[in-house]
Structure 1
Amino acid sequence: MKHIIVSIIYSLVFGCFCNAQNRKEWIEDITYYQKTLEEKHINLYHTISKNELNSEIENLKHKLSSLNDFQIIVELMRITQKVGGGKGDGHTSVPLWNRELTRYPIELFNYDGDIRVISIPKAHQQFLGKKLKSINGIPVEDIYKKVLKLTPFTENKYSAMDRTCSYMLVSEILKALNIITNSEQTAFTFTDAQGIDKSIKLKSYNKDALASISYEKLKYTHPNITPPQDAKNKNLWFSSLNDSKTIYINFKAYPPEDEMNNFSKQIYQFIEENKSEHLIIDLRDNYGGDFFKGLILSSYLNTCDSINWNANVYVLINRKTYSAAMVNAMQFKQILNAKLVGETTGANPNGYQDLGQFSLPNSKLLITYSKRLFRFQETKSNGVQPDIAISSKWTNQKNSIDAVLNWVLKDISNVDVTKD
């Protein structure tokens, strides 16, 4: 009996010692977090005052003993979001890139408040397109509001709609917010078109396991535009239609500089040989990179005299057009006289950008921050506004209709008819 009591006391004392050590490390990390952001951010207190941030930091330090590690991380995400997220500084964030996370194997999309499933394992494909009603019995509206307050990389309502749908599927975040307790068997409830609710149990998986799952997906497509069979890069390719009169450039990610140069030369040669007249640059779902590489493309395109520069150049944008892609969209409008068609971008034209990063010394948690202040237009706006606004609608997604590309191709055909 005496041995058991001694063991219990030892465990309690040793456990308290470990918690104290852990708390001490987190205090060091949180202090380093604020100090380093102040040193590296171009203007840390552009939205939040120093007194307010000090208060947030001190409150977090005081309640460390009542939080587990990931709850502390979530608190840092919330504080960092108050520094810039949603207020023109989406690059200052706690992105969780270097954490071992598990996610639920579905993809969600926010159609003006209706959060629907656009990708799900084939075993549950009957729920594709259904509205998500609740997770673990908690209404999706309540979950969305909680996750929205800490979601990284949000600059306006459009990036918030996109990013929040992603982060609310991270099981560690849902646990930290006390929305779920068991990530192995979590109840997801969906509502169909008749208002009938059905639930399934889903397990969260790590990145490798998610990649091995076979999914059923909804996506917008166009029957006349497909990547060439010899395309070396699935995120950067071009094709032609209308007897090569129209060039479509799929620009979803930024390649190395030499690859962009080679790609731009190929397009230039194709346009010159075929005397192409119409140009479409698709920047939808492009999360950014180095906008100077986009200028390489525009410099080659600008030398093509056969293009109808007065009327038939189009750049497609949506809520997932971020950072450098947003900048290139604006530059292509200026340099190439392009019409911007689609949805407002998730990134703002005026604001804090150009991402830097550092890690906290003990937890190794990654923190990102803004190094530059960019002003790409005279007036402030939440996102780059399209010249032709075409919002994301569920009816189009359900029927695999690319309404944006359809509008552009119709506009091109109208111009050709007028010319004839």
Structure 2
Amino acid sequence: MPTTASAPARRVLAAVALAAVFTTPLGAQSFDPAKDSPLTLLTAPPDPIAYLERRNQGFSLANAQNWAGAEPILEQLTRDYPRDGVNWVMLGSVKSRLDKPREAAAAYEKAASIIGWGDAYNARMYAAANHLAAGDRPRALELLRQYVFDDHTLLRQRLYDLREFAALRNDPEFRRITGHPDTTGWSRTEGWRHDIDYLYEELQRTSPDYRGRPLPAEVTRRYEELKRRVPQLSDAQLYLGMSRMLAPMKAGHTSLFQPTGSRYLPVRFYVFPEGLYIIGAEAGSEPLVGSRVVTIGTLPADEVMKRFDDAHSVDGPQVYLWQMAGLAATHVLAGVGAITRADTVSLVVEGPTGARRTVSLATLAEPPAGRQDRMVAPRGVPTPLYLSRLGEMHWELPMPEHDAMYVQMNNVNDSDETLAAFGRRLWTVLQEKKPHHLILDLRHNNGGNTSLYTELMRTIIAFSRKPNHDIYALIGRRTYSATGNFVTDLERWANPVFVGEPSGECCNFHGDPSHVTLPYSRIEGELSVVRWNLSRNVFDERHEMVPHMPVVLSAKDYFAGQDPALDAVFRMIERVRTAERSR
């Protein structure tokens, strides 16, 4: 999902695409049954084909930046069929480009009365920008207040940096609206307390579950206690305390990122059934790979993990395991009480033979390169298939020996080959190879953009409709966000067999976060503003997809280069094939 906005005229087409994800326009939302005749709901252009042709022409001209050519056509469209809010959005965009801000603002406000004011089309923001350009500062501020506090936009702080609102940057009311207070002269205690207040207020403003009603009592209790204890706590403890304040929300995409100044252990952690292990290391620390972590600093590893879990807001509990890579940050370790100094950290580790030793690791000023929350191939053994091409967004491999096609999708995003193009090409490959089993590996996929997977889903659905075709979906703790929507749709439309660990999210969960920067500490984070539910049952309260064939990856199997989940699929396929041969 886009996380920023640009000039009203330039980004209208992106806004139109965004709307398809957030909401489906209901039409005639501006109809007032107390004033309007119901017969007005039955008006239509006299020639629907001519109307469609004009609409396509007007949109094409706007796309080609032929603003003067598009303007009269769009004006005609809004007269012929004023009920279509997208026509008004396009007209507002064109009017803005033609330096007619008053007319542009009026078009955006008309669009908003039909299809909504908020982030789906950002109509209120675009109207405010054009009112400001026309010299109507009070109306611009009024619309921005409504956009932030009534529409709960995810763009609050980003508004400050948009050049369309540059003239307002010294305005105290604009700074309040956009969350950019003047911090000059604040003491440390004042600054941290302001940050805690701001985070609490933003949580109330953005949460799709608690708008207009009190936050959970435990959130408020942790908030009040943390504010009271500010003078006694270190920066690291305050950082983790604010994360603990968020945790009772039980909402994904609601967290604080590692603050500036944190240092990092030169190792990569992963949780297996046997405990917390080191699966990767920087130069000089490679001998630690394969070791189980017994203690970190002064605390047992299990206690560190429990305290860290208490500072996470999640939908599905499997995410607690995924987030353990964050234990490599010294702000986290100091916050949970495991360490008192950040330049070195002591670990007690247990090697493959069971022997234990204490090591002291010098920390790094910057995190190691790459996503530290992603698995890496084990050393000293052949790289297993599921870890062989993690740098690719999506790829496929025919497996004729299993009468199968293996497909790995590692993000719901585009690469050199868009996800839509991959979905269409995969159908051609399936038609050519004619496998009876499709294996979808989603274990590394932590999300992206829900609107991008439509073509791939169509291919999967078409494959599933053929006789004797089976789909196996490999899922796990990192199957998250847009991939949570993907597995929900997969269950609804293609009836797969889910294999592996429960997913990080599915069905009924939080997403589409608003970026937040705390004014004093400058700690950044995100707060969810949307609750998704694509389930076939609107009352579905599941937050994780539980596998039909549960398989857990042990440390022993991982370091040996084994993939028990894929092996289970192969055994199941062979059982199906044997049964079919015996008929």
TM-score category, normalised to shorter length: 0.7 to 0.9
Distance between the aligned counterparts of 1:418 and 1:179, measured in 2? 55
The AA in structure 1 aligned to 2:320 is A
The structure with the greater share of residues assigned to strand is 1
Does the alignment pair 1:90 with 2:256?
Answer: no
CA deviation map 1:154-194 (0-9, x unaligned): 3343211221x212221122123342233333211112354
Cα pair 1:342 1:389 within 8 Å, conserved = yes
- Counterpart residue type for residue 154 of structure 1: V
1:138 equivalent in alignment to 2:299: yes
Tell me if 1:21 matches 2:187.
yes
Cα separation, 2, equivalents of 1:226 and 1:185: 31
Q: 1:297 to 1:127 in 2, by over 3 A?
A: same
User: Does residue 274 of the first structure (1) align with residue 440 of the second (2)?
Assistant: no
For residue 378 of structure 2, the aligned residue among 211, 215, 218 is 218
What percent identity do the matched residue pairs reach? 18
Q: Which residue of 1 aligns with 2:119?
A: none
CA distance, structure 1, for counterparts of residue 463 and residue 354 of structure 2: 54
Please report how far the alpha carbon of residue 224 of structure 1 lies from its aligned counterpart in structure 2 after TM superposition. Answer: 6.8
Aligned to 1:356: 514
Deviates more, 1:22-31 or 1:383-392: 22-31
Residue 404 of structure 1 corresponds to 565
- Displacement of 1:295 after TM fit? 2.8
Distance 1:55 1:294, change over 3 A: same
How many angstroms does 1:243 deviate by?
A: 6.6
* Counterpart for residue 345 of structure 1: 503
2:357 corresponds, among 166, 178, 198, to 198
User: Would you say 1:249 and 2:407 are equivalent positions?
Assistant: yes
Q: 2:456 aligns with which of 297, 304, 312?
A: 297
2:433 alignment partner AA? N
1:101 pairs with 234, 237, 262, which one? Answer: 262
2:553–2:565: 8 Å Cα contact kept in structure 1? no
Among residues 264, 267, 271, which one is paired with 2:423 in the alignment?
264
Query: What is the DSSP-based 3-state SS (H/G/I as helix, E as strand, rest coil) of the residue aligned with 1:334?
Result: helix
**Counterpart amino acid of residue 513 in structure 2:** L
| CA distance in 1: counterparts of 2:532 and 2:269, whole angstroms | 31
State the AA in 1 paired with 2:496.
A
Answer whether contact 2:377 2:384 (CA < 8 A) is retained. Answer: no
> Which range moved further: 278-287 or 380-389?
380-389
> Is contact 1:158-1:346 (8 Å) kept?
yes
Is the alpha carbon distance of 1:75 and 1:45 closer, same or farther for their aligned partners in structure 2, counting shifts above 3 Å? farther
Amino acid in structure 2 at the alignment position of 1:354: D
Give per-residue Cα distances to partners, 1:190-246, cap 9 Å, x unaligned. Answer: 1235442112221222446556x9x99528977678979xx9x61311111217942
* Aligned partner letter, 1:302: I
Higher RCO, Cα 8 Å, sep 6+: 1
Q: Name 2:480's counterpart in structure 1.
A: 322
> What TM-score do you get using the length of structure 1 for normalisation?
0.81
What is the SS of the residue equivalent to 2:488?
helix
Q: 1:188 to 1:48 in 2, by over 3 A?
A: farther
- How much does 1:251 deviate? 0.6
Post-superposition offset of 1:267: 1.1
Q: Equivalents in 2 of 1:44, 1:60: separation in Å?
A: 21
In structure 2, the CA distance between the partners of 1:309 and 1:154, relative to structure 1 (3 Å rule), is farther
When residues 58 and 303 of structure 1 are mapped into structure 2, their CA distance, relative to the original with a 3 A threshold, is closer
Match of 1:413 in 2: 574
1: CA distance, partners of 2:304 / 2:473: 35
CA distance in 1, matches of 2:185, 2:225: 18
Moved more, 120-129 or 47-56: 47-56
Describe the shift of the 1:82–1:208 C-alpha distance in structure 2 as closer, same or farther (beyond 3 A): closer
Letter in 2 for 1:320: R
Question: What is the distance in 2 between the residues matched to 1:46 and 1:221?
Answer: 56
How much does 1:405 deviate? 0.8
Q: Does 1:238 align with 2:396?
A: yes
For 1:73, which of 239, 253, 256 is the aligned residue? Answer: 239
Letter in 1 for 2:527: Y
> C-alpha offsets along residues 235-264 of structure 1, whole Å, 9 cap, x if unaligned?
311111217942111111122397112111
Matched letter for residue 264 of structure 1: G
More helix by share: 2
Unmatched 5+ residue regions in structure 2? Answer: 1-183
Selected match of 1:393 from 547, 554, 557: 554
State the 1:282 CA deviation. 0.6
CA distance in 1: counterparts of 2:296 and 2:383, whole angstroms: 34
Give the secondary-structure state (helix, strand or coil) at the position aligned to 1:392.
Answer: coil
Partner of 1:159: 319
Q: What SS does structure 1 have at the residue aligned with 2:445?
A: coil
TM-fit CA distance, 1:317? 0.4
CA distance in 1, matches of 2:567, 2:236: 45
Q: Which residue of 2 aligns with 1:369?
A: 527
Which of 263, 267, 271 is matched with 1:110 structurally?
Answer: 271
Aligned-residue offset at 1:400: 1.2
User: Could you tell me how far apart the structure 1 residues matched to 2:434 and 2:392 are?
Assistant: 26
